[in-house]
Amino acid sequence: MEQSNKSILLVDGMALLFRAFYATAVSNYFMINSKGIPTNGIHGFVKHLFTAIEHFNPSHVVCCWDMGSKTFRTEEFSEYKANRAEAPIELVPQFDLVKDVVDSFDIPNIGLKGYEADDCIGTLAREYSVDHKVIILTGDQDIFQLINQNVSVAIVRKGFGNYDLYNPERLLEEKGITPAQMIDLKALMGDPSDNYPGVKGIGEKTAIKLLLEFGTIEGILDNLSKLTKSQQKKIEDSLEMLHLSHRLARIHCEVPIECSLDQAEYKVNKERALSTFRELEFKGLDRLLG
């Protein structure tokens, strides 16, 4: 089948919003407008969004969002992400407003209660990448598990327009493992930011070594006798948590959401976008619209 010339940019909205908010919040610069609404996170988000669109030149753009903190993962493990602090008061009003802003650019907002943005991104990436190239814009390496020959991940670095682009070859070269093994890696070493422990006492280095030798968690469990006594004990003591961590780490790619390519086609209405900038009292973003 001939490769399509379409390319879809899937944006992890919350990752960009949080990054933009905290970049200026450290100096208490919240950009409170004349209506008393803080807009620093949205301003930075918009800058990130249009900078990425200019850089990657996609034909289609979709923005995915978390829809509250309760998901199927918190139902399975109540401690999941329980270490996260409440959102700062200046960020709270920006959660809904940023979606209105994205909507004014005619870019679809996709999210579903009970699932994380990652799950929506995974579902759409799987669907679109059958025939098209997909780039996922995020700050989160958890998404590496979605990489394939048609799906690459752009990790946003400090500043604007700085991206680390990962495809299967880059991931293998840098981490030594495949996208599918990223799930096993997280299950073994746990994830402090998501607040699940994996196997206590096994870090990234040991986890990668075991995966290189035995391929998967199943492979490791089938060959427990070949591990050191210390490794055996650690895994046997954490067996239940290992399986739970594996379920928590896997991005769910069958979320019941829909977003046709027609809906996602990137064709921003410049006048409508400029009107949004005026309403929010944004300065210096007009040039990003080209």
Residues 203 and 255 both lie in one domain: no
Whose CA is closest to 102, among 53, 148, 59? 53
Q: What is the pLDDT of residue 3?
A: 55
Q: Is residue 288 part of a domain?
A: no
Q: What is the pLDDT of residue 152?
A: 98
Whose CA is closest to 92, among 121, 120, 112, 68? 68
Residues 52 and 67 both lie in one domain: yes
Q: Is residue 42 part of a domain?
A: yes
- pLDDT one-digit tens code per residue, 230-257: 999 999 999 999 999 999 999 999 999 9
Close Cβ partners of 118 (under 8 Å, ≥ 6 residues apart): 12, 140, 142, 143, 251
Close Cβ partners of 29 (under 8 Å, ≥ 6 residues apart): 40
Q: How many H-runs (helices) and E-runs (strands) does the chain carry? A: 13, 6
- pLDDT one-digit tens code per residue, 56-71: 999 999 999 999 989 9
The angle at the Cα of 174, spanning 170 to 176, to the nearest 5 degrees, equals 100
Residues 212 and 278 both lie in one domain: no
Task: Please check whether residue 287 is in contact with residue 50, taking contact to mean a CB–CB distance below 8 angstroms.
Answer: no
Angle, helices 92-104 vs 13-25, to 10°: value is 130
Residues 229 and 118 both lie in one domain: no
Residues 74 and 215 both lie in one domain: no
Residues 266 and 233 both lie in one domain: no
Residues 29 and 101 both lie in one domain: yes
Q: Is residue 27 part of a domain?
A: yes
Q: What is the CATH number of the domain that holds 152?
A: 3.40.50.1010
Task: Please check whether residue 134 is in contact with residue 152, taking contact to mean a CB–CB distance below 8 angstroms.
Answer: yes
Task: Please check whether residue 15 is in contact with residue 68, taking contact to mean a CB–CB distance below 8 angstroms.
Answer: no
What is the domain extent for residue 52?
A: 7-168+251-282
Q: Is residue 32 part of a domain?
A: yes
Q: What is the pLDDT of residue 66?
A: 96
Residues 162 and 20 both lie in one domain: yes
CA–CA separation, 138 and 128 (whole Å): 18
Q: Is residue 41 part of a domain?
A: yes
Q: What is the pLDDT of residue 1?
A: 42
Residues 208 and 127 both lie in one domain: no
Residues 61 and 134 both lie in one domain: yes
Q: Is residue 160 part of a domain?
A: yes
Tell me which H or E stretch contains 70: none
Task: Please check whether residue 217 is in contact with residue 245, taking contact to mean a CB–CB distance below 8 angstroms.
Answer: no
Task: Please check whether residue 146 is in contact with residue 171, taking contact to mean a CB–CB distance below 8 angstroms.
Answer: no
Residues 15 and 125 both lie in one domain: yes
Q: Is residue 231 part of a domain?
A: yes
How many domains is the chain built from?
A: 2
Residues 125 and 158 both lie in one domain: yes
Q: Is residue 273 part of a domain?
A: yes
For residue 45, give the 3-state DSSP assignment: helix
List, run by run, the mean pLDDT of 10-residue segments along the chain (290 residues). 78 97 92 96 97 97 95 95 92 97 97 98 98 97 97 95 96 95 97 94 96 97 97 97 97 98 96 94 88
Q: What is the CATH number of the domain that holds 244?
A: 1.10.150.20
Close Cβ partners of 61 (under 8 Å, ≥ 6 residues apart): 8, 9, 11, 53, 107, 264, 266
Tell me which H or E stretch contains 134: strand 133-138
